[in-house]
């Protein structure tokens, strides 16, 4: 199973490869959390602005989820960080998603092909996987 340490390494790899121009101006922590049906990731800035938490849906640690789903989810949250949402950086936009700004930025950063695969996999597999896990009562067993 994927771990929080694995997530941290993925975050560092994606940041260095695709977001090297975005300064890491505070402590950024990433970890698996929650078992959400309609949210794959979340980014939050602490009140003191010294810490950012990126939470990745715990269900994404399952082997049935392709690594590219996690990669694009992390990149999505890093776009928010770069745009000043969940980070101390200046806000570039009034709203975090309006006008397709996240998808446009992901494409500019080299994720075009992966975005297509990501969208297709989510549409074809995510809700069925979620419902299967919930029906079997595995949701709580994912907590570590």
Range of the domain at 32: 4-142
Q: Is the pLDDT of residue 144 over 70?
A: no
pLDDT attached to residue 140: 42
Tally DSSP H helices, then E strands, for the chain: 5, 3
pLDDT attached to residue 135: 75
For residues 41 and 96, give the distance between their C-alpha atoms in angstroms, rounded to a whole number: 14
Tell the residue number behind the tokens 């990126």, with chain if given.
54
Q: Domain holding 11: CATH number?
A: 3.30.2010.10
pLDDT attached to residue 10: 98
pLDDT attached to residue 134: 80
- pLDDT category, 138, cuts 50, 70, 90? low
Work out the number of other CB atoms within 10 angstroms of the CB of residue 111. 22
Share of the chain above pLDDT 70, in %: 94
Q: Is the pLDDT of residue 127 over 70?
A: yes
Distances (CA, A) of 46 to 50, 92, 102, 135: 7, 19, 22, 35
pLDDT single digits (tens) 52-79: 999 999 999 999 999 999 999 999 999 9
pLDDT attached to residue 143: 42
Q: How many domains does the chain have?
A: 1
């Amino acid at each position: 199973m994927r771990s929080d340490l694995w997530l941290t390494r993925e975050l560092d790899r994606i940041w260095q490869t695709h977001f090297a121009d975005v300064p890491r101006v505070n402590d950024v922590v990433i970890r698996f959390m929650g078992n959400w049906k309609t949210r794959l990731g979340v980014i939050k800035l602490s009140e003191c602005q010294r810490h950012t938490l990126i939470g990745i849906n715990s269900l994404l640690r399952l082997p049935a989820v392709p690594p590219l789903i996690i990669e694009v989810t992390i990149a999505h949250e890093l776009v928010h960080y770069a745009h000043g949402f969940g980070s101390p950086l200046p806000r570039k936009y009034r709203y975090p998603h309006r006008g397709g700004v996240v998808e446009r930025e992901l494409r500019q950063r080299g994720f075009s092909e992966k975005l297509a695969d990501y969208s297709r996999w989510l549409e074809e597999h995510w809700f069925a996987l979620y419902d299967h896990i919930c029906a079997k009562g595995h949701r709580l067993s994912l907590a570590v």
